[in-house]
Each structure stands twice: as structure tokens, then as C-alpha cells.
Amino acid sequence: MPTIEDITADFEFLEDWEDRYRYLIELGRSLPAMPEAELNDANKVRGCVSQVWLISRTDDASPPHLTFLGESDAHIVRGLVAVALALFSGRSASEILEADAEATFARLGLQEHLTPQRSNGLRSMVARIKDDARRALAAAA
């Protein structure tokens, strides 16, 4: 999976939004598949129009680090999942809570080029990831 820095550089290189949408779809295709059993109501992200599932795994490090798996039934949304995972996965819970996802998404130009429903879904994913980070910190305390 590319890093968020790689994705940002690629977005800057691709000037046309049709190319950026195709790139988002490619990013989504590169996500590892979630096990079918994990595509359940407990892992579903609320607030997304498309189906989105998210799993977080926390290690035993201090501070805890989280890794995420994500899935969607929509191509562009699956790409947005990939962007969110590139931004957050593998980071400490504290880093996740401090990360300014809105600024990153603004740098990519996502706010201006996503439908309101997709933007809301992206915010819901970020909220879920940050909630998981808060729970990981609380469990480690």
C-alpha cells in the first residue's frame, strides 16, 4: 500500500479529476480483501451511504499502535478507505488522535470533488478510526 505522502504526490501529479478518480479506484483495488466473516454489522461504519466495514487491531506496544482493514462495496469509496488507511494505519493511538484528516483531505482536493454523501461517509470513517484510537488509549491506561 502506498503511504499518504505517496498518495499526496500522485494527486499533485494528476491534474485531471477523472484521472484522480481512476487513481482512487486503483487504490481501492489494492486493498487486501477483508475476510467474508468480518463483513458484518459490528464492523460496519455508520453514516456511510455505501457499505463500509472497518476492523482495527491494536498491538501491545506503549503507546498502542493500531492497524486497520477496510472494505466497501463501492469502487470510489473503497479508494477513500485506502486513503484513510494510508493516513492512519500503523500509527500510535496518540498520532491518530492528533492527525488532521480534514487538512489532508483538503490538500488532496477531496472536499470539492466528492458528493456530500461521500464526504459525510469519509468523516464517519475518520470518526470511527479516532474512536478506536481513544478506546485503545483507555485500555492501555
Q: What is the pLDDT of residues 91-124, one digit of tens each?
A: 999 999 999 999 999 999 988 888 888 888 899 9
Query: Cell numbers of 44, please?
Result: 460496519
Q: Angle at Cα 17 formed by Cα 88 and Cα 45, nearest 5°?
A: 35
Q: Which residues are catalytically annotated?
A: 48
| pLDDT exceeds 90 at position 60 | no
Neighbours of 86 (CB within 10 A): 19
pLDDT at 62 over 90: no
Q: What does pTM read for this prediction?
A: 0.94
Judge whether residue 48 has pLDDT over 80: no
Architecture of domain 4-140: Alpha-Beta Complex (3.90)
Q: For the chain, give every domain's residue range.
A: 4-140
Residue 34, pLDDT score = 93
| Residue 63 clears pLDDT 90, i.e. is over it | no
How far apart, in whole angstroms, are the C-alpha atoms of residue 57 and residue 41?
A: 17
